Structure formats: structure tokens, C-alpha cells
Structure 1
Amino acid sequence: MVRLEELNDDVNENNVKKTSGSQPEDGDLEDLYDRAVARGGFSDKSFEEALSDLSKTPLFMTSLDDAGNEDNVVLEALKALQYEGTRSEAAQNFKEQGNECVQERKWSDAKEFYTKGIAVLTNKVDEVKWDKPEDPVEEDKRSTLLLEQLHSNRARCNLELKNYRSTTLDCSSVLKINPHNVKAHYRSASALFALDKVYEALDVCYRGLKLDQDNQVMKVLLEKIQKRSRVKEEQDRKRKDELDRKRREKLTLVAAIRARNITVRFSRKGAPEMADAELRLVPDPLSPESTLEFPTMFLYPTHNQSDFIKAFSEKDAIYQHLSYMLPLPWDAKGEYKVSTVECYMDTISGGMVKLGKKVSLLEILSNDKVEVLDGMVRIYVVPPGGQWLQEVKRKRNK
């Protein structure tokens, strides 16, 4: 294994011996370029072209604007490096910096260092020339171990930052490398639990405890997940029972409508929004012998007015509802009286049928001529005389 030696803290640029005095000015750079050209160093490139080429090399880069998004992480990582080395040495450096941030609970900073370390090990950039390792086999082993540790450490940072999905992705990367990593199981289970993916969290937690049966932290987490699982199972059971009840109620309602020979049709627009008003059986929605109730709209077409009845029982007659709605507050002429108004419904064939005000709603709806459209009964109420009906017939014939 390659041994790394760190520079002392007091080592800085002033301690490094310079070979040519002070830093050359721009004019000096041109002189150096001319000498290089004379030696054949830059072929026939101009001074500006040579500088442009240098600026594209990672260690001399001044801008990342033209670099691809995927490579930017690697290039940023290289810019932060202060020494040359192998990939694993560079990754180790970022890992140690990340660990220092973790000790100070600087989770975002630590995550960035671990991300750079991962980028160094996994991204391939042609411009990057790493030192050749003394032992390639050992270098590969070390890189694999570092990649596992970097993903595991970044998973912890993401967990602390509540980036739960990212946590699970990092843990997945760890487990692909080392399926026996207990920390990855714990962090993945914690993230899944936070996302309320209880059954997935249980599975991961059980797998982790198989690897380390005495892991107390994992046992505490498992207890929390099991408690939530029991609550969720009860909620799921109630939800299933509710859905099953509604399904049986719907089947019972359909059977009751068919038994009464009532035609109900739903258009493409579907049923209008009526809050909790709906076609239903009362008092027991699971008994076809219960009474049908219909949401009903009383329309006054000659005055563009309407009244809505939430529950019109099949046993009720029209006059029973007109008796408490009339007289109407906007009927200045007193045209709408229970004894004189006329009531109509649309027929299935497209015509109109006059309704008896003392006939039950069930008798009206079961005569094969009318239908209940989109779950609502519509009754037209007009003053006597027949003028409105004649106008409707004229318009329809036209």
C-alpha cells in the first residue's frame, strides 16, 4: 500500500525554492514563448493560441464555463488539489477533509468533499493524468474500499440534511460494493422510514440485523418501524374496508334502480359537483329495500331561476316540495302557485312530458319515458297557459 506523507503546517509557498527569481510578467512570458518556439515547443501556434491551450488543462483552468456538466465535479475537485498523486491518494485527501467537516457537523461541506472524492474515483477525463501506482492491484483494492467509504459517509450527510432519496441511492451504491455493510443498511432503513416507506424499511432493517444481530441502534430503529407498521396496517385495513363498503353500496344501488325500472344515464360531462348530495339509498345503503333519494333541480325557465333539493324521496310528490318553496320571492306578478303551475321533464326521445303534481317521484321515473341524467332529476316549473311549452316545441322543430 502506498504510504502518504503530509506536509507540515508551516510549509508554504515561501519555503519553496524558486528557480528564476520573481514571477515573470506578461512580457517575460512572451519572451519565454519565443524561446520555446525556437526550440520547437509550440510548433506554429501563436502566443494567444498557446495560452488558450494551457487554459484548457485542468491544473491551469481559469473557467469551467465550457466544460460538460458531468465533468465539472471532477475538474472542480482537481482545482482543489494542491499536489499530484494517484486517484486513490486524491480521493483519500477529499475523504479526510470531509471527515473533518463531519466532526464539526458541517454536513453540506462534508457532502461536497465526499462528492469530489467519488468523482475522482468514478469519472474518466482525458485531460487528467494521474500518477501511475506502484502496485495497480493494490491501487484497485484501495479505490474500491474508498468508494464504499465515500458513498457511506455521504449517505450519512444526506441523512442529516434530510435528503432521504439521495441517502438511499448512496446506500445502494455501498451495498453493490459490499453487501455486508451494516451502516448502509441502517442509513437506508432510516431514510426509507422517514419517507414512510415502512415495508421497505422493515426489509432493509431485517437484513441489517441478520448481519449484526447485536446491533442496538438497529434494534431501536426496528422497534420504531414496527410500531409505525402496525399503525399503517390498521390504516390500510380501514381504507380497504371503506373501499369494499363503497363497492357493495354501489352494487346495491344499481340493483335497487334496476328493480324499480328507473333509467339512469351519465353523460360525458359526468355528474355535477353537488357536495354531499347524491343519488342514494336511505337509511341503509346496503339494503335494496331502502328508500331512494334523488338530488333534484327545480328549474323556472321563463325567469332563469332555480331551486335545488338535496334529497327528493321516491315516495314524495312534486306538490309536497312546491308547497314550501312557493310563493317565490322574485315572483312579482304572483304567477307561481301550487295549484296552477305546470311541471315537465325531458323525455328520452327528446320531447317533453307533463307531470302530475300529486304523483310520486317513483311513478314518474319508472314509466320508461324519462331518465335521470348524471344522477340528478330536473323538473321544469312554469306558469299556466302553455306558452313556454309551445316555444320549446317551436325551437326544437326548427
Structure 2
Amino acid sequence: MDSKPEEEDDVMDQFMDKFRNQKYAGAFNEDRWEEEFDKVPMFMKTAPEEVDPEKAPELACLQSILTDDPEERAKACKEDGNDYFKEKDYKKAIEAYTEGIRKKCPDQELNAVLFTNRAAAHFHLGNYRSSLNDAIAARKCKPDHLKAVIRGALCYMEIKNYAEAVKWCDDGLRINSTEKKLQETRTKADKLQRAADRDARRMKQAEKKKQTERSALLTTIQSRGIRMQEERKEEEEEESHPDGLTSEGVTGAQVCLDAEGRLSWPVLFLYPEHSQTDFISAFHEDSRFRDHLTAMFSEDLPPWDTDRKYQAHNLEIYFEDEVSECFYQVDPHCTLLEALQHSRFRVKAGTPSFLILVQRSPFCMRYFSDKKVHRIA
């Protein structure tokens, strides 16, 4: 039989006996455990004022971590940021400067530098608003920090706030009256601000003139007894006008008033039989429908009229009253003004529209078969 298992058991028994009878050399004394426990760095209630790194390296390391100097760490972050900036790695530079700012060191001049440097990194990335915010923060730390003033002025130039750019340049020139960058920036900003002011005045004058003309136009329309269909579409981005006159009619033209006080309207002719339209950009209010139809259908007939039945003497004119859902026939010999003055007519979107159909045609009969129509007697 193999005697090795018995020998191993004897060795284990001897070890256990020794473990029971002898104490561990590094064990705490039962009577002084609190005193000995307080010598362990992680469990000390109070740290000693001076620590010898050679005698107590663990304590020295721990104390270094707990008493980290925020100013030194902020400086280190600034240097890291500067290195990244030189390499044109502006995103990492921003991260480094941000970490330095978070140290909240008591040195306000250092904080101003960190904010200014981060502003420069943001500027190179085109983040002009963020750059400006950092320049403002830098000046709060140190109001006379010239680089922050220059950076802020340049940011205002980029966002086209020339008045503030001039103001910041003036602040900087009070700090250093010979700063060339500020002198150049101020000259450019002042020139652009003057141009912007001039353009604003011109726009204001043009808008005032436009409003005056619009007011005169509406007064003339109202004096004619012409009714506009009011439209309000708040859900749409396009500007709507409660008076029914949009800035431009649906066809791109708008009613205008001539020197003699007469109106010319953009007018739309609709041909429902062929789903076609004709647009008259300036239909004078004293012109007759017959004259326009004769000019349009006398010689060159439209290509869609394959049967050659759309001829001036053969056409009827109607308009629709959307409120009553009725159609009203218009006498071809009447003027546009007379049609617009009809009690049931409403000008929609600044463009009067009329339906043109061939009289007594099968399509005309079918089209009006289920509609209310008021014909000429």
C-alpha cells in the first residue's frame, strides 16, 4: 500500500496544531487593536501633518490623492489643452480646458486663460456662440483680460452683431490703445454697422411706402363696393391678410392702382371642360369681357380646343358664390368692375376667377345639371 496519503495527513495535522498554538506575527493585539487599527492609512481618523514617503509610502500616496492641488491640476489641464490646440485637435483641446475649469481653482487669472483658450478652440470649430459665452465668462474672471476682449469682438463680427463688436473693441482699446487687431476690427465693424443701419432705414421707408400704397388700394377697392373674401390660415407659414389681399395673388401678380385712380386686376379664366386655365395679369376694371375673349379666341385657337368650338361669340361666363354654392352668369358685354360689384361676388386671394364654357354644349348642360345657376334673363 502507498504510505504517502498518511504522511500528508501528518504534515497537515502538525500545521494546524502550530496555527492554533502560535499567533500570526502581524496580528492585532486584542488589547490595543484600536490603537493599531488607527495606524492603517485607510482607517486613520486623523492624518499626521508630516509624512515621510520612505517610511510610510502608502500614507504619502493616499495623502497626495486627498490633498490634490486644484491650481496645479488646472495648470496641467491648460498645458494639455495648449498641446492639443497646437496640433489643431480643437475638440480635445476643449475637453482639456473644460477639465481645468472644473477644478475651480482660486486663481481667477488662470480661470480667465482657460475660458479664453477654450473660446479660441470653439472659434476655430465655428462654434461662435459658445466661443462668445467663454469670452464673456473670461471677462467675469478678469475684466481686463485683453485676449478675451479680442475674441469676443471677433465672435460678434461672425454673428453680425456689429454694434456689440464696436463696444467690445472700445473696451479693449481702453486697456491697450495700440492693439492693432482691435483697431482693424473696430473700423470694419463700424463700417458694416453703418451699412446695416442704412439698409434698415431703406427697408423701413420701403415698408412704409408699401403700407401707404396698400392702404390707398384698399380704400379704392372699398369705395368701388368690391368685397374681398377673408382668409386666415394660421397653420400655414405663409403670411395671410384678413382683408383678403395676399402679398401676391395665386398667379404671382397683384391688383394695382394706376395714376388715374383706376384698378387693374390679375384675373383667372377657368375651362372646366378641358381642365385648362388662362391668366390675364392686368385686366383693367373698365375693360369688357367680350373684348378679352375676342382677342384670345379670334385667330389663334388654343391647341386643346380640337373641335374649334371655343370662339368669343359662342362662350358663356360664370362665377361661383361659395357661400350659397350657386353659379351666376356674367354678361360678356359688362366690364370687369361691373362683375366685381355683383352682390354675390367675392374676390379670393386677390385674384378674381371666372368659368368659361361653350353655351348649350353637352358638357355645359351636364356641368350645371346638379348645380344652382342664376342665368342672364
TM-score w.r.t. the length of structure 2 is 0.69
Question: What is residue 341 of structure 1 aligned with on the other side?
Answer: 315
**Change in 2 beyond 3 A, CA 1:396/1:98:** same
| Structure 1 residue 354, shift from structure 2 partner | 2.1
Counterpart among 94, 97, 109 of residue 145 in structure 1 = 109
Whole-angstrom CA distance in 1 between matches of 2:161 and 2:365 = 62
1:11 corresponding residue in structure 2 = none
Q: Kindly indicate whether residue 342 of structure 2 is the aligned counterpart of residue 363 of structure 1.
A: no
Checking the alignment, whether the CA contact within 8 Å between 1:118 and 1:151 is kept in structure 2 is yes
Distance 1:84 1:261, change over 3 A: same
Whole-angstrom distance in 1 between the partners of 2:125 and 2:361: 75
Identify which of 139, 142, 165 aligns with 1:201: 165
Question: Mean Cα displacement is larger for which, 92-101 or 315-324?
Answer: 92-101
The whole-number CA distance in structure 2 between the counterparts of 1:375 and 1:301 is: 21
Does 1:257 find its partner at 2:221?
yes
> Which 4+ residue blocks in structure 1 deviate beyond 6 angstroms?
none
Give the distance between the partners of 1:371 and 1:118, measured in 2 at CA.
67
Between 186-195 and 268-277, report the one with greater CA deviation. 268-277
What does residue range 43-62 of structure 1 map to in structure 2 within 5 Å? none
- Mark the structure with the bigger radius of gyration: 2
Q: Distance in 2 between matches of 1:106 and 1:193?
A: 24
* Equivalent runs, 1:255-294 vs 2, <5 Å: 255-268=219-232, 274=250, 276-282=252-258, 289-294=260-265
Identity %: 28
Structure 1 residue runs of 5 or longer lacking an equivalent are 1-34, 40-81, 122-139
1:90 corresponds to: 73
Conserved in 2, the CA contact under 8 Å of 1:266 and 1:375? Answer: no
Q: Which residue is 2:20 aligned to?
A: none
Equivalent positions of 1:34-45 (< 5 A) are: none
Q: By how many angstroms is 1:279 displaced?
A: 1.9
User: Is 1:299 aligned to residue 275 of structure 2?
Assistant: no
- Tell me, what secondary structure is at the counterpart of 2:371? helix
- Count, aligned residues: 296
**Do the aligned partners of residues 100 and 341 (structure 1) sit closer, same or farther apart at CA in structure 2, a change above 3 Å counting?**
closer
Is 1:321 the equivalent of 2:321?
no
- Given that residues 323 and 338 in structure 1 are in contact (C-alpha distance below 8 angstroms), is that contact kept between their aligned partners in structure 2? yes
- Structure 1 equivalent of residue 34 of structure 2: none
Taking the aligned partners of 2:251 and 2:327, their CA distance within structure 1 comes to 29
Gaps of 5+ in 2: 1-23, 29-64, 234-239, 241-245
SS at the partner of 1:394? Answer: coil
Q: Distance in 2 between matches of 1:368 and 1:275?
A: 25
Once the two structures are TM-superposed, the CA of residue 109 in structure 1 deviates from its matched residue by 4.5
CA distance 1:383–1:107, shift in 2 (3 Å): closer
Please list, as runs of the form range in 1=range in 2, the aligned pairs for 1:1-398 lying within 5 A after superposition.
85-102=68-85, 107-121=90-104, 141-142=106-107, 144-268=108-232, 274=250, 276-282=252-258, 289-326=260-297, 327-347=301-321, 349-385=324-360, 388=364, 392=368, 394-396=370-372
CA distance in 2, matches of 1:396, 1:353: 9
Tell me how far 1:198 sits from its aligned partner: 1.3
CA contact (8 A) 2:249 2:350 kept: no
Write the letter of the residue equivalent to 1:322. Answer: L
Instruction: Give, in whole Å, the separation in 1 of the partners of 2:302 and 2:126.
Output: 62
Distance 1:386 1:370, change over 3 A: farther
Instruction: Measure, in 1, the Cα distance between the counterparts of 2:166 and 2:84.
Output: 31
- Distance between the aligned counterparts of 1:391 and 1:105, measured in 2? 74
- Give 3-state SS (helix, strand or coil) of 1:297's partner: strand
Q: Deviations over 1:33-77 (max 9, x none)?
A: xx9xx98xxxxxxxxxxxxxxxxxxxxxxxxxxxxxxxxxxxxxx
Describe the shift of the 1:157–1:280 C-alpha distance in structure 2 as closer, same or farther (beyond 3 A). Answer: same
Q: Distance in 1 between matches of 2:340 and 2:117?
A: 71
Give, as a single letter, the amino acid of the residue that structure 1 aligns with 2:311.
K
Q: Which residue of 1 aligns with 2:6?
A: none
Deviations 1:232-278 (CA, angstroms, capped at 9, x unpaired): 12221222222222211211110110121111113346668635311
Deviation larger for 219-228 or 346-355: 346-355
Distance in 1 between residues matched to 2:227 and 2:249, nearest whole Å = 21
SS of structure 1 residue aligned to 2:160: coil
Report the CA distance between 1:190 and its aligned residue. 0.6
* Closer/same/farther in 2, CA of residues 108 and 384 from structure 1, 3 Å limit: closer
Please give the root-mean-square deviation of Cα atoms over the aligned residues, in Å: 3.1
